[in-house]
Structure 1
Amino acid sequence: MICTIDRHPSEDSPRLGAMNLHPLPDSVGIARRWFRKFIAPYEPACSVDDCVLMISELVTNAIVYGRSEDPWVVRVEWFREGTSLRVEVHNPGFPANVRLRCPDANDAHGRGLLLVDSIAESWHHGPSRFGGTVVSFVVADAWTT
């Protein structure tokens, strides 16, 4: 199995869901599909397509840049914080290696964080509570109440 899902967060947690993905290219599509499926019951007012695009970019980066000598997973978690949605993507990479690039028009790569920066209300990177790196984004007004 490429993915495990946490469908039932505790009642007092703002976490709406989480998934663990193997660091394989197929996991990007799985992350998109599962996020759509598990966010739908919460009826967000924001663009789920925009969220899926940003998740796709961050999971791709996590797979490409995550490093560990031990078996590892990419962890994706999503939270409701008031009317905002926060999505975190964790991997065993190094936080100092996360950077926003300005690729040339002919560059085939390097636009992931640029997309996140242009769509999200804000984004952040740093050390993950699981070890390694977390990159997160916030979508404001994801819910009306």
Structure 2
Amino acid sequence: MAYMIDRYPCEGSPRLGAMTLHPLADSVGMARRWFRKLIAPYEVACSVDDCVLMISELVTNAIVYGRSDESWVVRVEWFREGASLRVEVHNPGFPANVRLRCPDAGDAHGRGLLLVASIADSWHSGPSRLGGTVVSFVMADAWPA
């Protein structure tokens, strides 16, 4: 199995959904498809296309930069916090390795976090409560207040 989907939030949890992905290139497309499908019932007012683009970038980064001596996965979770949508991407990499780059025009890579920073209302990186690293973004006004 390449992934696991948590369709239903835990009782009393603000989490709307989650998925666990293996660190494979195919997981990026799965993350896009499943997020789009699982967020639909919540009728968010923010751009789902923008969220899917940012998830794609963050899952790609998690797969490329995640490291562990053991078998590992990428975890994507999304939450409603008041009127905002927060999406987290967890991997076993080192939090200190996450940095916003300013690539030259000819650079083939290095624009993922720059893209997230330009689209999201805010973003954060640091130690994950699951171990490793979390990179998250917030879309404000995802629901009417």
Please report the TM-score for the alignment, with normalisation by the length of structure 2. 0.99
| Structure 2 counterpart of 1:107 | 107
Secondary structure of 1:59's match? helix
| Structure 2 counterpart of 1:31 | 31
CA drift of 1:124 comes to 0.3
Secondary structure of 1:46's match? coil
Runs (4+) off by over 6 Å: none
Q: Which runs of 5+ in 1 are unaligned?
A: none
| Structure 1 counterpart of 2:84 | 84
Deviations 1:2-61 (A, max 9, x none): 110111112311100000000000000000000000000000001000000000000000
Secondary structure of 2:117's match? helix
| Structure 1 counterpart of 2:9 | 9
CA drift of 1:74 comes to 0.1
Equivalents in 2 of 1:112, 1:21: separation in Å?
A: 19
Equivalents in 2 of 1:10, 1:77: separation in Å?
A: 12
Equivalents in 2 of 1:2, 1:85: separation in Å?
A: 26
Equivalents in 2 of 1:11, 1:86: separation in Å?
A: 18
Secondary structure of 1:107's match? coil
| Structure 2 counterpart of 1:40 | 40
Q: Which runs of 5+ in 2 are unaligned?
A: none
| Structure 2 counterpart of 1:130 | 130
Matched, 1:61 2:66: no
Equivalents in 2 of 1:87, 1:62: separation in Å?
A: 14
Which amino acid counterpart does residue 47 of structure 2 have in structure 1?
Answer: S
Aligned residues: 145
Which amino acid counterpart does residue 38 of structure 1 have in structure 2?
Answer: L
| Structure 2 counterpart of 1:18 | 18
Please report the TM-score for the alignment, with normalisation by the length of structure 1. 0.99
Overall identity of the aligned pairs, in %: 84
Which sits farther off after the overlay, 2-11 or 69-78? 2-11
Which amino acid counterpart does residue 20 of structure 2 have in structure 1?
Answer: N
